[in-house]
Chain A
Amino acid sequence: AQSVSQHNHHVILSEAASLELGCNYSYGGTVNLFWYVQYPGQHLQLLLKYFSGDPLVKGIKGFEAEFIKSKFSFNLRKPSVQWSDTAEYFCAALMNRDDKIIFGKGTRLHILP
């Protein structure tokens, strides 16, 4: 079955640390990939997306993600996190241009000031 897996449920970092959140999907065909972020008390918003082309995509607020097809991965990175990055992050995939986006279970990121 098609699925999206996020490796970490809860991550705690200090400010200025580097961040990498893992995401893997299970599907052998064409896939569009997304990272969403949900700040406390706010709605889900799109952080970045990959459709095709350059596998390194840049999003808002200094985030980037790399699509590695051979590893079925789409990891989210940020070189230096800030306290305001405290949020829940969701990896998601649209497989074979389907209508339904499949979400991972989310990673809660807590940044210590």
Chain B
Amino acid sequence: DVKVTQSSRYLVKRTGEKVFLECVQDMDHENMFWYRQDPGLGLRLIYFSYDVKMKEKGDIPEGYSVSREKKERFSLILESASTNQTSMYLCGEGLRGQPQHFGDGTRLSIL
């Protein structure tokens, strides 16, 4: 079974803090993704990576950056957290052209 592990289920941070969300996959797949999920808006792609040290912007990259130093790990970074980044963050992984598998999500609150 594919396993996608997100480092935290719940996280509370303060405005202006630098926030790191970690994601690890155990399938040695090329593609990894970060989404945010908000009620009524579905899943919106923030960034994705198709190889180590490679990254592509998704639909809503502003205020975020990513890091992929190893194939199994994909990190999402909020450079200076703001209240409008309070959301559920989902990490996904998969092979090109194939459906993705997802982690349990991190519910992030920015106070």
Contact A101 B102 (CB under 8 A): no
Contact B103 A43 (CB under 8 A): yes
- Secondary structure of the B side of the interface? strand
- Kindly state whether residue B11 has any CB partner on chain A within 8 Å: no
Contact A43 B96 (CB under 8 A): no
Q: In angstroms, how far is the closest chain B Cβ from the Cβ of A8? A: 12
- Kindly state whether residue A42 has any CB partner on chain B within 8 Å: yes
- Among the stretches A13-21, A66-74, A77-85, A92-100, the one at the interface with B is A92-100
- How many A-B contacts at CB < 8 Å in the complex? 47
Q: In angstroms, how far is the closest chain B Cβ from the Cβ of A29? A: 13
Contact A49 B50 (CB under 8 A): no
User: Which of B56, B58, B101, B104 contacts A42 (CB under 8 A)?
Assistant: B104
User: Which of B31, B40, B48 contacts A105 (CB under 8 A)?
Assistant: B40
User: Which of B35, B58, B99 contacts A46 (CB under 8 A)?
Assistant: B99
A22 to B43, CA, bound (A): 17
Contact A99 B103 (CB under 8 A): no
A92 contact set on B, CB distance < 8 A: 99
Q: Of all chain B residues, which has the CB nearest A9?
A: B40
- Kindly state whether residue A25 has any CB partner on chain B within 8 Å: no
A46 to B58, CA, bound (A): 22
User: Which of A32, A90, A99 contacts B42 (CB under 8 A)?
Assistant: A90
* 29 pairs from A and B in contact (CB 8 Å cutoff): A9-B40, A34-B99, A42-B104, A43-B4, A43-B102, A43-B103, A43-B104, A43-B105, A44-B92, A45-B102, A49-B99, A90-B42, A92-B99, A94-B97, A94-B99, A97-B97, A99-B48, A99-B50, A99-B56, A99-B96, A100-B45, A101-B92, A103-B35, A103-B42, A104-B42, A105-B41, A105-B42, A106-B42, A106-B43
Given contacts A99-B31, A99-B50, A99-B56, 19 further A-B contacts (CB under 8 A): A34-B99, A42-B104, A43-B4, A43-B90, A43-B105, A44-B92, A46-B99, A46-B101, A92-B99, A94-B97, A97-B97, A99-B96, A100-B58, A101-B99, A103-B35, A103-B42, A104-B42, A105-B40, A106-B40
